[in-house]
Structure 1
């Protein structure tokens, strides 16, 4: 059965898309730790990061770096944090989180955004990728 991320990649579930290339896909987390919290996922469904082949792993990290730099330019923050936990969805995903303090990295503090706010921040990040 496809993961929720595969369904997002395939357009079966809507998302606030940030970027896409041949191998990877980035979209805003709908339950963000901070405004601009983005997930980068490989299009090929793999459960664990360290089970990825080396080339795919490297491409995901390069893609995540590019998206992270765009987030850093678009969203005021001290820095963009990166974490890979992967317990909640069995599909590798890199969290890119604008950090204002350590509480943004704990996954215990969440922000609520309206659909309009999601659209605005997604567009701001996409603009930085151009």
Structure 2
């Protein structure tokens, strides 16, 4: 059965997409820890990050890196943190989270975002890409 991320990749579920190539897709998390919280997913549906082939794993961070500065400029954060949790959706992904302090990387702070909030933030980040 396809994961929610595969459904987003295939256009079956809407998302505020930011960047995409033949192997990766980035979009805003609908339950962000902080505004601008972005997910970077592999288009290859693989559950565990360390089960990815070396080429895909090696391309994941450079793809994510291109988003860090735009997210930082759009949100005004001090840094963009990166986390790999991999338990909530069985599809390899990394979290890019705008942060000013280490305590900002707390999934307990996540809140549902409205479609308008996501659209506005996506537009701000896309402007910076």
Tell me the TM-score normalised to structure 1 length: 0.93
The equivalent residue for 1:86 is 86
Post-superposition Cα deviations, 1:17-51, rounded to whole Å, max 9, x if no partner, equal 11111110000000000000000001011111111
Q: Equivalents in 1 of 2:31, 2:111: separation in Å? A: 7
TM-aligned CA deviation for residue 112 of structure 1: 4.5
The equivalent residue for 1:7 is 7
The equivalent residue for 1:107 is 107
Q: Equivalents in 1 of 2:112, 2:46: separation in Å? A: 29
Contact 1:28–1:36 (Cα < 8 Å) also in 2:
yes
Q: Which runs of 5+ in 1 are unaligned?
A: none
Q: Equivalents in 2 of 1:49, 1:34: separation in Å? A: 24
Q: Which runs of 5+ in 2 are unaligned?
A: none
TM-aligned CA deviation for residue 103 of structure 1: 3.1
Tell me the TM-score normalised to structure 2 length: 0.94
TM-aligned CA deviation for residue 116 of structure 1: 1.7
Once the two structures are superposed, the pairs formed by residues 62-73 of structure 1 within 5 Å of their partners are: 62-73=62-73
Q: Equivalents in 2 of 1:30, 1:112: separation in Å? A: 6
Contact 1:47–1:92 (Cα < 8 Å) also in 2:
yes
